[in-house]
Structure 1
Amino acid sequence: MICLINKNVINMRNLILHHLEAIIESGSVIGACRRLFLSQPALSQYIKRLEAEYGIVIFDRSVSPWKLTEEGEHLLETQRKIQQLDEECRQFFRDRKGLKSGTVRIGSTAYRTATILNPILSVYKKQYPNVIVRIEEGTTQEVAEFADNGKVDCSFVISSMVPSSLESVEIYSEKVLVGLPPNHPYTKRASGEASLEEKFPKVDFKELDGTPFIIMKRGQIFNQYYYDLCQKHRVPPQVVLETQSILTVPALISANVGAALVPSTIADDCMARNVRLFSLGNDVPQNNVSLVWKQGKYQSYALTEFIKTAKEIFLPAFTHQ
């Protein structure tokens, strides 16, 4: 049996997904209209026609911002699956023709984009210049969900947060350190105690009781690490500032805003700003990073080669640690 798919039907399905996601991400019909370049009456009428067509209520309009009903969530998830299957089908045919093209959608935090993804892309794009790379950035938790729900083809995720529905390979590891401002009392005291060979002297987290901390926003693994340490040592949390990007933290510590947990990957930036770094020993786990993708999902040639490139760049160093 040969099934012909009308191109207009595919476009209509993409339109449904595009409009629903715009409303959800914008938090309002007005915000979605700005993104879609539509008038409010036009978008409202479109949603009403959809509801009439499917015989459901898509959004709960009694709350602000609007929320999807259970039926609306099912419709959105179904439209995402339809789009994903269509993209996989098209990519399969491109691969059969031997075309080194297509699209790779990658989930990453802004920090992982700068420290892990950029080195991979510098090699990958030279080898496959016709492949389009789309980066979807979010929190540590969000990028894992992106891979799980099919929003992206693969994501960089903290290994301890990888769900069982995803395949993964560990490619990177970093220590979790605590950075103290130049004028912190412990920094001055420790300067006279540490031996020259100790790059990151050990600090007891209890010694930092009363220290204001810069922390990552909820959904980031470093946010969880901070509150776990406070609970373990019975130290009351003292948060002076929350930030979305770990890359802004060295400058904030250097400006004496507060202390912070930082990955060893940005140790050089911290030390260049006169931030003193300390080890927490076994109080906090090592930060292992995995590249993850959905189990059972068709892997395009472009995705397969991206995973291969990531392994070639990072696995040798990771396995010899």
Structure 2
Amino acid sequence: MDSKQIQYILKVAECQNITRAAEQLHVSQPALSHFISKAEEELGAKIFNRGTTPLTLTQAGEHYVKTARMMMALEENLKQEIDDLNNSRDGEIRLGLSDMRATSLLPFALPEFRRLYPNVTIKTVESGSRTVEDNVRNGVVDLGIIPLYDYGEDLCARVLYDEELLLVSSEDLPCERGNVRPWVDIEEVTGRDFALLTGDNRLRRAVDAVFLEHGVKPRTVMESRNNMTVYMLATSGMALAIVPETVVRMMNPVRIPRIYSIGKSGFHWNIGAIRREDAVLSGAQEQLIRLLRNRYL
């Protein structure tokens, strides 16, 4: 198993399609197919089930991919440890996060990081939190920034900050005075129209869990994959919405909405940085995490 073989086979496993993998690797499809056949011959076992669409791993292939990822992680850790020993400040950090988190966090953290590490490049891979998790597992990114709600136990996490999830309305709601903002009893909004995120979204699962806990049955009149869309729909008067405080800070609505905490103590979750359990953080990565955390201290 050399590094080129590992790279090619992991890319095919990721894409689940030889043609697509060949395009991303900038090699021809026949050349990649021949390369895989040769690797399987050396291994003495099939790595991929060729008769399935999308392409799947055989049992031997699953072991190969798991071991290959461990080997790549060990190699990367060794490079990082040697870089730190040599006080190297060159390199690249691949950071996975949503476009919303990128917009709200990076402009505040990266200027100082750039001053400390002028030769370290930050490469962002922007996607939903579930994809961020998968990209961390597969070594596509070094660090991921996600809500620490219902995430994989195989990943190491470090809390960056606490984030409140807020109820947005275009009209006044029955509320109580709170320390920061007025709060509403979540049970008071049962039966109201809501614009919510789609069911595969982490925030939607968290919101549904709160609704279920309090016996709230909202009328879902709109679903979207975008927090900003449901926020703007709430400000328009179409429905209520529950969004992260980050969205409220970022938006500039045409009509100023009413913003409420949910319950006296509020509805919160943690935002954190995740990495593979077998990954060692470099000095630059540690510094980036500290700067991201300081954004909300």
Report the TM range for the smaller structure's normalisation: 0.7 to 0.9
Change (3 A) 1:94 1:194: closer
Deviation larger for 247-256 or 299-308: 247-256
Residue 287 (structure 1) shift: 1.9
Work out the CA distance in 2 between the residues paired with 1:49 and 1:282.
64
Q: For residue 203 of structure 2, what is the aligned residue in structure 1?
A: 222
Residue 101 (structure 1) shift: 1.4
Q: For residue 13 of structure 2, what is the aligned residue in structure 1?
A: 20
> Does residue 132 of the first structure (1) align with residue 121 of the second (2)?
yes
2:259 to 259, 263, 277: 277
* Letter in structure 1 aligned against 2:44: G
* Letter in structure 1 aligned against 2:173: A
Deviations 1:61-83 (A, max 9, x none): 44322222332222222222222
Q: For residue 231 of structure 2, what is the aligned residue in structure 1?
A: 250
Residue 145 (structure 1) shift: 4.8
**Are the equivalent residues in 2 in contact too, given 1:108–1:156 (CA < 8 A)?**
yes
Matched residue SS, 1:63:
coil
Q: For residue 40 of structure 2, what is the aligned residue in structure 1?
A: 51
Matched residue SS, 1:175:
strand
Change (3 A) 1:254 1:42: farther
**Are the equivalent residues in 2 in contact too, given 1:240–1:257 (CA < 8 A)?**
no
- Please list every run of 5 or more consecutive structure 2 residues that lacks an aligned counterpart in the other structure: none
Matched residue SS, 1:190:
coil
Q: For residue 4 of structure 1, what is the aligned residue in structure 2?
A: none
Change (3 A) 1:71 1:136: farther
Q: For residue 123 of structure 1, what is the aligned residue in structure 2?
A: 112
TM-score, length of structure 2 as denominator length: 0.80
> Does residue 97 of the first structure (1) align with residue 86 of the second (2)?
yes
> Does residue 65 of the first structure (1) align with residue 58 of the second (2)?
no
Q: For residue 190 of structure 1, what is the aligned residue in structure 2?
A: 173
Matched residue SS, 1:135:
strand
Residue 173 (structure 1) shift: 1.6
Residue 12 (structure 1) shift: 3.6
**Are the equivalent residues in 2 in contact too, given 1:125–1:131 (CA < 8 A)?**
yes
Residue 302 (structure 1) shift: 1.8
Work out the CA distance in 2 between the residues paired with 1:160 and 1:10.
35
Deviations 1:80-131 (A, max 9, x none): 2222222222233332222211222323222222222442222211221111
Deviations 1:175-199 (A, max 9, x none): 111223x4xxxx2x639x8889984
Work out the CA distance in 1 between the residues paired with 2:33 and 2:186.
58
**Are the equivalent residues in 2 in contact too, given 1:101–1:302 (CA < 8 A)?**
no
1:83 to 69, 72, 86: 72
Matched residue SS, 2:161:
strand
Deviations 1:39-64 (A, max 9, x none): 44333333333333323332334432
Work out the CA distance in 1 between the residues paired with 2:234 and 2:25.
40
Matched residue SS, 2:7:
helix
Q: For residue 11 of structure 1, what is the aligned residue in structure 2?
A: 4
**Higher strand share goes to which structure?**
2
Question: What are the within-5 Å matches in structure 2 for residues 114-193 of structure 1?
Answer: 114-147=103-136, 150-161=139-150, 166-180=155-169, 182=170, 187=171, 190=173
1:290 to 268, 272, 275: 272
What's the % identity of the aligned pairs?
Answer: 22
**Are the equivalent residues in 1 in contact too, given 2:195–2:221 (CA < 8 A)?**
yes
